[in-house]
Amino acid sequence: MVAPHTRHRGPAGRRHQQAGAQPSQVRPTRVDEELDEEFAPPPDHDEDDIYFGDFWGHLSQGYLCCALFQFGGLPTGVREPKEHEFFNILRRYKIIIAFLQELGLNWYALSDSQQWLCRVHHELDSNKTRTRCCHNTKSLISEDRQWGGTGILAHGLVAHFAVGSGGDKTGLGRWTWSRFLGKNGMHLRCVSFYRPTPNKVGPSSV
């Protein structure tokens, strides 16, 4: 699903657009201005960029920046443009935890150099990165591509607080999780999950 095309930035921009269509003019509220600032694109975005719900806000101190990535299938070859762009986004926007979905690869059918961990370590500092991914190990098809697949990646300081990870115990690769230990014994468990469906439109399509 993609957000409607509009040249206004963010949710507040869409409200301004709707308000402008009414006979009476509505002055922006303080909440509108704060939303505009929070969802404004980075300085390197062009003024003519169209908003698709993908403008990244500024990373606030003390917050975890998490993002969900639905790949629609990773390439079998390493360092392909799609994969390289993913790692560039992690570095550019300082994403701490990435939820990975629909990797679309049968890791058992790939060579050591094609494995996810090897790809990650080629792009990111292995001392500051923890990652895990799961795929359908029950499939009788031995090809290198398959439906679904999930993963999770922690990058930066939070990686040093990782205390465990796991996945779908049925071996279908429907979810992958990582757990982190914080102050006073508090735990944070992050789960990335995905279920393939043949229904592309209507109820239960997402």
Residues of the chain with pLDDT under 50: 1-26, 31-32, 34-41
| 10 closest CA partner among 114, 42, 22, 150 | 42
| 66 closest CA partner among 57, 76, 74, 75 | 57
* Terminal-residue alpha carbon distance, the chain: 9
Domains of the chain with CATH codes: 1-58 (no CATH), 66-193 (3.60.10.10)
Check: CB of residue 114 under 8 Å from CB of residue 83.
no
CA distance 12 to 32: 5
Give DSSP secondary structure letters for 145-198: B-S--EEEEEESGGGGGEEEEEE-TTSS--EEEEEEE-GGG-EEEEEEE----S
Per-residue CA distances from 10 to 25, 36, 63, 78, 188 (Å): 20, 6, 21, 35, 29
CA distance 150 to 173: 6
Name the residue type at position 162.
Answer: A
Q: How is residue 120 written in tokens?
A: 């990650």
Supply the pLDDT for residue 94.
86
| 12: three-class secondary structure by DSSP | helix
Supply the pLDDT for residue 65.
86
CA distance 115 to 113: 6
Q: Does this model's pTM top 0.85?
A: no
Per-residue CA distances from 37 to 34, 56, 58 (Å): 5, 11, 9
Q: How is residue 150 written in tokens?
A: 């999930």
Supply the pLDDT for residue 163.
96
**DSSP state at residue 63:** -
